[in-house]
Structure 1
Amino acid sequence: MPCETPVAHGGHVTLRLPRLAALAAALSLLLAIPALPAAAHEGRQQKPGTIPAITPTPQTVHARDDRATVSSTVTLVTGDTADAPAVRVTEKALRAAGAHRIARGTKPGRGGLTVYVGSAAPLGALRVEGPAELPAEGYVLAIGVGRIVLAGKDTTGTYYAAQSLRQVLPHRTGPGAKVAGLEVRDWPATPLRGVIEGFYGTPWSHTARLDQLDFYGAHKMNIYVYSPKDDPYLRARWREAYPADQLAQLKELVDRSAADHVDFTYALSPGLSVCYSSDADVKALVDKFQTLWDIGVRTFAVPLDDISYTAWNCQADKDRWGTGGGAAGAAQSYLLNRVNREFIATHPGAEPLQMVPTEYYNVTPSPYKSALAEQLDPDVLVEWTGVGVIAPTMTVAQAKAARTVFGHPILTWDNYPVNDYITNRLLLGPFNGREKGLAAELAGITANPMIQPYASKLALFTVADFAWNDSAYDARASWGAALKEYAGGDPRTAAALRIFADLSYSSDLNKQKAPELAAELAAFWASGDTRRLDRTLAALQAAPAVLRDRLTDRGFADDAGPWLDATEAWGAATRTATRMIGAARGGRGAEAWELRQRLPALVARAKSFTYTGLDGSRIPVLVGDGVLDTFIDDATAEHDRLLGVTGPPKALTSLGTYQTNGPARMVDGDDSTYFWSNGSPAAGDTVTVDLRKEQPIGDITLAMGKPGSTDDYLHQGVLEYSADGTAWQQLAAFSGQATVTASPPAGTRARFVRARATAAQGSWLVVREFGIATAHAAVTGGPPAAIGSTLHAAADGDLSTVYRAARAPEPGESLDVALGREAAVGTVTVLRPAGETAKASVQLRAADGSWRTLGPLAGPYTRIMAGGVRADAVRIAWSSGGSPQIAEVIVG
């Protein structure tokens, strides 16, 4: 990997602690919107036999032929597995469904609805089996005539039954709602499900953490791992006690976790300075854990990720264990075993100790892993990110291999949707690439969230869905449910949220970039329907305002602020591009040219919005990159094609892109910018320049590598050219050269030139410039060009370059464009920047050398009919005005 590869969470994982901290955060937001939103069902009756949506997806759901009616007074009877949180959720759901009074009782009420919370016996009257055979946290929810029964295997199960009931009941202002009969028999696919707040960067606020915990509980996530890198008392100052005010905040989090049935896990990371063999450091760890135990923490972790195990923090460790990975594994096992035996084992009620290994990102056998497998106490949970710091996929076979190589139960620390390594992006797509059956192989699944807590909820909703019932999980369906819930059931808000989330859909887990918008754009290019596309882009432009105005979770707008601003600006730019195409196709050349000139400023504005990092740096944000910007590029090329202009070369590649270092940078004429791949080229991978039309080509230069990444070049490959992109001819082979040059035979014509790897390599690829010399019309005369401009720019086939004169024309001065050969001329079009006022006439040189005047220049866009006159040159004969400017002289 290149040296600029982030150390945030994998190599440095910010994601590693197990649990639900991050997941919970995302889920709490989504939970704000029940699967059957209240607003959408106001005043409506549920028909018998209907099955409402519940998230996470239950293991089994069956409709009944009967139904219950929400009466004005509802009697609530509690049983052994009911606790205050379950009762609170149930009562709130009943009131939202129209009940005016909740009466506590020990037996059914007379005539009205009775709701049993935490008792299985009343299931008999509905002929429904109880939860006795279910695993921990399982539950049964049954709705029938006169009664609703919430029966959990344990108190958490009953709490989850209440969360499901909350989604099933309609929202009404008064009693009388008919609730369709229902039987839900449900349980989790894996014991631990949640979030690890373990990223680097701007910390979550205390308020956001509390909100996250509520979200986790609502989405049946049961673990939150507290491991924020911004807490110095977790890492750099791990030996020190918390100040009273910070400890009080932690206690509030612990208490809220308990109320939400979320296990608060405290993760202490001593690896930066610990002396493994030191009795004093063991005592410091135990003492620190004791202060957290005293405020209610019952689950503890010791992450040892993002540290070096080749350099000891004390000589005593080196003396005792030696050096190397095996020595590190033995030392870490010694420390963890002492904590496990001297603290966990001596505190009844403590959950199993968790740890994050230094090698957390693969299943490759090693001396380090062997030491952990052989020496670490068997009941310690090992956290693992999958194969890769950010694993694109995770399979059952990989999970089994992890269990084998580490020799311990595995809790995944899934580095999604964490974005501390790409802070210019929001990751709003679904949890994806995880194989069905994975949950059964694991002790649990935890996700590392984004720096943005409220925006994380969309992805965390889908994580919760997968972790609860992976066998029924469908990433796109879950994503749609997350959007619907977060929008509060409001169709307009949901539509706006879907548009916005689609622009930030892509990630290592979701390779498609803005898939829904991309499909709309593809349909446009196939149909040419500018009206339909403008409606789509108008909705995109309006989406940020809709979300800011209508989302009930105000934190989302704060989290996503710069990305919302950028989306609105890209909407304006893409709509302008669409109108430009419509005008060009409709023969309205002046209008199309005016719109084309607006585009650079609109695109610059869209790219101007920034996210401010923890260090104060301003990072340009990305939305819909590779789709929105590509559409504008393609639209501009279409406009130019209709004018008969080739346009600038276009760069293509089969490789992925690292951060913002896209292919366009290899043809921008700037050697200081570069394309940078996000992985190592394999045999057959290519970088290609499309000249947009077949034409004569000259010298070729491929400049690769850069300071700090001198090995990032194609180590072995060939240069090839093609007229059609299908049939290729080899021009040169190269090996071990960071800069490759070649001169094709005289008369060689091509549209495409590419460099193709002929062997796989370990390093990535940087291309600073990929240049192909091409022939252009000769431009002579004057006035001379100003500094930074050229005469050639007036007829170079690139409308983005402009000839700017250094002075006003002198009498008789002209600008002459040679056509190369005599040909019939149908039209002459002269494009000038908006506001250009220099006066001139347009002339053609006939075969006998005489000049024929066609007409005057008139404004920024002049198109003059020539009637097929044969000529070999065009002249712009200046008459008056200031320093002239010409974007392009086009002969058709």
Structure 2
Amino acid sequence: MHRTRTAAATAMAVALAVVPLTGMAGPPGGGKAGRDGPRDSPGVAGSRALSPTPRSVRSRSDRVTITRSVTVVAGPDTDAPALAVVEKSLKDAGADRVVRAESDPGDGQLAVYVGGAGASRALRALGARGPDGLPAEGYALAVGGGRIALSGKDATGTYYAAQSLRQLLPHRDRPGARVRGTAVRDWPATPLRGVIEGFYGTPWSHEARLDQLDFYGEHKMNIYVYSPKDDPYLRAKWRDPYPADRLAQLKELVDRAHARHVEFTYALSPGLSVCYSSDADLRALTAKFQTLWDIGVRTFAVPLDDISYTEWNCAADKDAFGTGGGAAGAAQAHLLNRVQQEFIARHPGAAPLQMVPTEYYDVKPSPYKKALAARLDADVLVEWTGVGVIAPTMTVAQAGQARQVFGHRILTWDNYPVNDYVTNRLLLGPFNGREKGLPGQLAGITANPMIQPAASKLALYTVADYAWNDTAYDARASWGAAIAELAGGDARTARALRAFADAHYASSLNPRQAPALSATIAQFGKDGDARRLDGALRNLRDAPGVLRDRLTDRGFVKDSGPWLDATRAWAVAARGALQLIEATRAGDDAEAWQLRQRIPELVRTAASFVYVDMSGKRVPVLVADGVLDTFVEAAVAEHDAALGVVGRPKGSSNLAVYQDHAASRMTDGDDATYFWSGAAPRAGSFVELDLHAERALGAVRLAMGKSGSPDDYLRHGVLEYSSDHRNWHPLASFDGKAEVGAEPPAGTRARYVRARATAAQDHWLVVREFAVAGDGAATVAGGPPAAAGSALRSAGDGDPATAYRAARAAQPGEALEFTPDAPRGARSVTVLRPQGAPAGAAEVEVRTGGAWRTLGTLSGALTRLPAGDGAIGGVRLVWRDGAAAPEVSEVILH
């Protein structure tokens, strides 16, 4: 869904904020939730976290023991999948033998009552209420008094009770474990809770879908909507029957879903070519549904998103319905009503039809919504994404408005953690920004996941938590519990996974990137203690290797491959930057320069990893962007300041960034690279340069647009400058030009220069280069001549990251001469050269009072010589005869 171009329990589990078993709200009709008892005694398997968080949990003072043989007493109609979960959980807890019987044999062995009258009696004997009075899918579970009893309001409720028991029981390889007594009474906050595979891009594999269905069942999610945009038989070829092998795969998914109490929903999207008034198209649609009905599908949807509703696919629709949004709503209602009445209503056991309106992303009244609300069958569920395609927040009031404007029950299609619009990112933060009380206003919640199925589990865990019990939901706590579960209770794996997920935390729902790492960096900025930050960076560096070695979910490792590589590389680069800061502050100039020279290659390596999409496009991936890259830039800027140079201007923007086209690309001196916004500028949008210090301004150049996107430039704007970032002064206005230049009045000084949009526009923004002359850089002349791809000026441009490289060895009498923009006093002359540069390659001379005098000889990569008295009007490197092809990174007067 896009309107424009297309985020054994261990001590560590506790540290990761796993939700404890504490009392929650009471059940319908009264009842009081209890509190946990004392901490576990030695040898007692205690209160492990239950997910989703139950409504009511009460710890008992007694316990049960997992005996060698366990008897399972089941009612005649007890849900078979629930029994399977119970029996496997008992064996995983140490039981050697699990037998079924119609009653407790009373031989001293543990008895587990699952469903039926036996479970009801056992619950009463344990002082626990049964599931009577609970909503659909509610359940009751009690452990204590030498027995376990569980029963649901219905078969799904019993299955969920079994899943909760699975979480309560320990993992042991022998009998004898003692389990603390516990009573649970639980029910969902909203009827439908699950996932819609509705993204663009590489569809999930069949194996991944099977794995996902297992995950949904374990987390009490009861709906999976099959709607991959790139299944041709759902969209472009919607009229065509599935080939036998594809239909067989769908049947396997349907069967697995039923076994996990997940409703498999088949979503057919005919809107690209359907003729709404056509009897033939109706027959094609219902015939397609019939083939899915025949393999067990009982829930169907017709999404009509991401299509045009201003142009008809057939002339008959214009004749039948007219034109405009109201006509489109009437036409869609006509087709959907016929599907509801002629297919759904004629198939006993079919769930109400679901649909996605073409206007799915707001609550504004419109002719389209009015027609749909008035004409669409009352039983049809309407799917809605919230206010926005990707809604940062969603409130009870908004849900009420949606219900009113669409006139139907609302099922949310929540576009999180979907990443098909930001394929360079993993979105691993929690479900956030959804108001408590929202699920109760909805028919259900479905989340659109990432292209990466296994990596989606962290966020989907939290979606399940919220949808089941929003009252108790805490996003960070649920996220911590998801990490603990995926880590399998292993402390080292959990620590690594938490660090990795923190570096991929940000999204529209979680606007702060890498919150834990950001806080550690901020603390370093306050106290200068590098040990804590170095520890965090080492943990981040090592995390990818730990996850590859120890994470049992190999799908997560496969999904995250390029991001794992990039995370390690960015952590290495950030550690190098931290070492640079320490050497700079310690005054170890040689060590700092050696470290500084490594940074560009470390950053290039970190930025080199790519995700290859289904079309073969190579998309550079992002890791903790705005955090790690900013820290590295700040370290380099601090070193520049210590050297006495301003360095390259820092680019920034208040516009979103498209993929990896960061603002730094508009200051890199390469016209082939560019900043590219991820949205159209509004009035007030800007791109900006920070020159690091107030200085004289020379000519300003702004080069926008690019080949393939020539219209992506600011149509109406103004160039401005400021010294304090608060008071801005106009420099020049511009309209309708992709190439903008301005000459500031003589004597103009500023630290900041920006280009600000004065009007909104539809096109995005590309900035190839944004540059300001007059930065105090020296004029460089002499020789030897520069090699291809290099320039003499790089030796005096104020940026140590650029270097002059000679095309050949020095000849007798050759010298490289640097002339500053004005004579200046300086304590020293510093010459920076690449690591390994030979000593004695040149004499260093300065011109004062019109005469040249020798300061000394180049000594190595960093040469710093006292300048003596007098204003320096020039610096000269007089090469010795036969010196190898010289290289100079920067000559600095400071």
Structure 1 length normalisation: TM-score?
A: 0.92
Tell me the equivalent position of 1:832.
Answer: 833
* Alpha-carbon distance between aligned partners in 2 of 1:280 and 1:752, rounded to the nearest angstrom: 65
Once the two structures are superposed, the pairs formed by residues 307-346 of structure 1 within 5 Å of their partners are: 307-346=307-346
Q: How many residues align?
A: 862
C-alpha displacement at 1:71, in angstroms? 2.2
C-alpha displacement at 1:710, in angstroms? 6.4
2:805 counterpart of 1:804: yes
Q: Is the 8 A contact 1:14 1:198 kept in 2?
A: no
Once the two structures are superposed, the pairs formed by residues 547-586 of structure 1 within 5 Å of their partners are: 547-586=547-586
Secondary structure at the aligned position of 2:455 is classed as: coil
Of 875, 883, 886, 2:885 maps to: 883
Aligned CA distance change for structure 1 residues 368 and 80 (closer, same or farther; 3 Å): farther
Of 93, 114, 118, 1:117 maps to: 114
* Alpha-carbon distance between aligned partners in 1 of 2:665 and 2:287, rounded to the nearest angstrom: 55
2:86 counterpart of 1:94: no
C-alpha displacement at 1:629, in angstroms? 1.7
Tell me the equivalent position of 1:519.
Answer: 519
Tell me the equivalent position of 2:71.
Answer: 75
* Alpha-carbon distance between aligned partners in 2 of 1:863 and 1:684, rounded to the nearest angstrom: 46
Tell me the equivalent position of 1:57.
Answer: 53
Secondary structure at the aligned position of 2:773 is classed as: strand
User: Which segment drifts farther, 286-295 or 80-89?
Assistant: 80-89
Aligned CA distance change for structure 1 residues 570 and 309 (closer, same or farther; 3 Å): same
Secondary structure at the aligned position of 1:232 is classed as: coil
Tell me the equivalent position of 2:636.
Answer: 636
C-alpha displacement at 1:616, in angstroms? 1.9
Tell me the equivalent position of 1:854.
Answer: 855
User: Which segment drifts farther, 529-538 or 608-617?
Assistant: 529-538
Amino acid at match of 1:855: G
Q: Per-residue CA shift, 1:533-557, capped at 9, x if unaligned?
A: 2222221111111101101111111
* Alpha-carbon distance between aligned partners in 2 of 1:34 and 1:530, rounded to the nearest angstrom: 30
C-alpha displacement at 1:14, in angstroms? 10
C-alpha displacement at 1:444, in angstroms? 0.6
Q: Per-residue CA shift, 1:750-791, capped at 9, x if unaligned?
A: 112233455666665443433222232233333333344333
User: Which segment drifts farther, 447-456 or 700-709?
Assistant: 700-709
Amino acid at match of 1:117: V
Amino acid at match of 2:243: P
Secondary structure at the aligned position of 2:233 is classed as: helix
Task: Give structure 1 stretches of 5+ with no counterpart.
Answer: 1-8, 16-32
C-alpha displacement at 1:871, in angstroms? 4.0
Tell me the equivalent position of 1:207.
Answer: 207
Amino acid at match of 2:569: A
2:357 counterpart of 1:357: yes
User: Which segment drifts farther, 812-821 or 265-274?
Assistant: 812-821
* Alpha-carbon distance between aligned partners in 1 of 2:792 and 2:769, rounded to the nearest angstrom: 24
Q: Per-residue CA shift, 1:449-480, capped at 9, x if unaligned?
A: 11111111111111111111112211111111
* Alpha-carbon distance between aligned partners in 2 of 1:293 and 1:821, rounded to the nearest angstrom: 84
Secondary structure at the aligned position of 1:698 is classed as: coil
Aligned CA distance change for structure 1 residues 782 and 440 (closer, same or farther; 3 Å): same
Tell me the equivalent position of 1:19.
Answer: none
User: Which segment drifts farther, 827-836 or 263-272?
Assistant: 827-836
* Alpha-carbon distance between aligned partners in 1 of 2:869 and 2:86, rounded to the nearest angstrom: 83
Q: Is the 8 A contact 1:378 1:408 kept in 2?
A: yes
Once the two structures are superposed, the pairs formed by residues 144-293 of structure 1 within 5 Å of their partners are: 144-293=144-293
* Alpha-carbon distance between aligned partners in 1 of 2:773 and 2:67, rounded to the nearest angstrom: 82
Tell me the equivalent position of 1:25.
Answer: none
* Alpha-carbon distance between aligned partners in 1 of 2:138 and 2:4, rounded to the nearest angstrom: 36
C-alpha displacement at 1:250, in angstroms? 1.2
User: Which segment drifts farther, 210-219 or 137-146?
Assistant: 137-146
Aligned CA distance change for structure 1 residues 262 and 634 (closer, same or farther; 3 Å): same
Secondary structure at the aligned position of 1:120 is classed as: helix
* Alpha-carbon distance between aligned partners in 2 of 1:256 and 1:227, rounded to the nearest angstrom: 17
C-alpha displacement at 1:649, in angstroms? 0.5
Tell me the equivalent position of 2:658.
Answer: 658
Q: Per-residue CA shift, 1:285-339, capped at 9, x if unaligned?
A: 2222111111111111111222222222222222222222222222221211111
User: Which segment drifts farther, 754-763 or 492-501?
Assistant: 754-763
User: Which segment drifts farther, 370-379 or 696-705?
Assistant: 696-705
Tell me the equivalent position of 2:35.
Answer: none
Q: Per-residue CA shift, 1:810-842, capped at 9, x if unaligned?
A: 322222223455555432221112344485334
* Alpha-carbon distance between aligned partners in 1 of 2:413 and 2:6, rounded to the nearest angstrom: 10
C-alpha displacement at 1:845, in angstroms? 3.3
Tell me the equivalent position of 1:623.
Answer: 623
Amino acid at match of 1:83: D
The CA RMSD measured in Å over matched residues stands at 2.7
Aligned CA distance change for structure 1 residues 406 and 750 (closer, same or farther; 3 Å): same
Secondary structure at the aligned position of 1:455 is classed as: helix
Secondary structure at the aligned position of 2:699 is classed as: strand
User: Which segment drifts farther, 856-865 or 349-358?
Assistant: 856-865
Aligned CA distance change for structure 1 residues 580 and 364 (closer, same or farther; 3 Å): same
Secondary structure at the aligned position of 1:61 is classed as: strand
Q: Per-residue CA shift, 1:44-73, capped at 9, x if unaligned?
A: 5348xx743111111122222222222222
Amino acid at match of 1:786: A
Amino acid at match of 1:312: W
Aligned CA distance change for structure 1 residues 824 and 744 (closer, same or farther; 3 Å): closer
Q: Is the 8 A contact 1:34 1:488 kept in 2?
A: no
* Alpha-carbon distance between aligned partners in 1 of 2:678 and 2:397, rounded to the nearest angstrom: 26
Tell me the equivalent position of 1:10.
Answer: 2
Secondary structure at the aligned position of 1:295 is classed as: coil
* Alpha-carbon distance between aligned partners in 1 of 2:603 and 2:821, rounded to the nearest angstrom: 36
Q: Is the 8 A contact 2:361 2:387 kept in 1?
A: yes
Q: Is the 8 A contact 1:66 1:145 kept in 2?
A: yes
Residue identity (%): 65
Aligned CA distance change for structure 1 residues 706 and 883 (closer, same or farther; 3 Å): closer
User: Which segment drifts farther, 449-458 or 733-742?
Assistant: 733-742
2:132 counterpart of 1:135: no
Q: Is the 8 A contact 2:363 2:405 kept in 1?
A: yes
Tell me the equivalent position of 2:781.
Answer: 780
C-alpha displacement at 1:157, in angstroms? 0.5
C-alpha displacement at 1:178, in angstroms? 2.2
Amino acid at match of 1:875: R
Q: Per-residue CA shift, 1:54-107, capped at 9, x if unaligned?
A: 111111222222222222222211136631111111112222222222232222
Tell me the equivalent position of 2:412.
Answer: 412
Amino acid at match of 2:357: P
C-alpha displacement at 1:152, in angstroms? 0.7
User: Which segment drifts farther, 637-646 or 63-72?
Assistant: 63-72
Secondary structure at the aligned position of 1:421 is classed as: coil
Tell me the equivalent position of 1:84.
Answer: 80
Q: Per-residue CA shift, 1:320-376, capped at 9, x if unaligned?
A: 222222222222212111111111111111111111112212222222222211111
Aligned CA distance change for structure 1 residues 85 and 94 (closer, same or farther; 3 Å): same
Q: Is the 8 A contact 1:13 1:389 kept in 2?
A: no
Tell me the equivalent position of 1:368.
Answer: 368
* Alpha-carbon distance between aligned partners in 2 of 1:421 and 1:502, rounded to the nearest angstrom: 21
Secondary structure at the aligned position of 1:875 is classed as: strand
Q: Is the 8 A contact 1:42 1:171 kept in 2?
A: no
Secondary structure at the aligned position of 2:143 is classed as: strand
Q: Per-residue CA shift, 1:229-276, capped at 9, x if unaligned?
A: 232222222222222222211111111111100001111122222222
Q: Is the 8 A contact 1:208 1:454 kept in 2?
A: yes
Q: Is the 8 A contact 1:14 1:199 kept in 2?
A: no
C-alpha displacement at 1:652, in angstroms? 2.3
Q: Per-residue CA shift, 1:619-671, capped at 9, x if unaligned?
A: 22222222222222111112222222210111122333232222223323344
C-alpha displacement at 1:730, in angstroms? 4.0
Once the two structures are superposed, the pairs formed by residues 475-514 of structure 1 within 5 Å of their partners are: 475-514=475-514
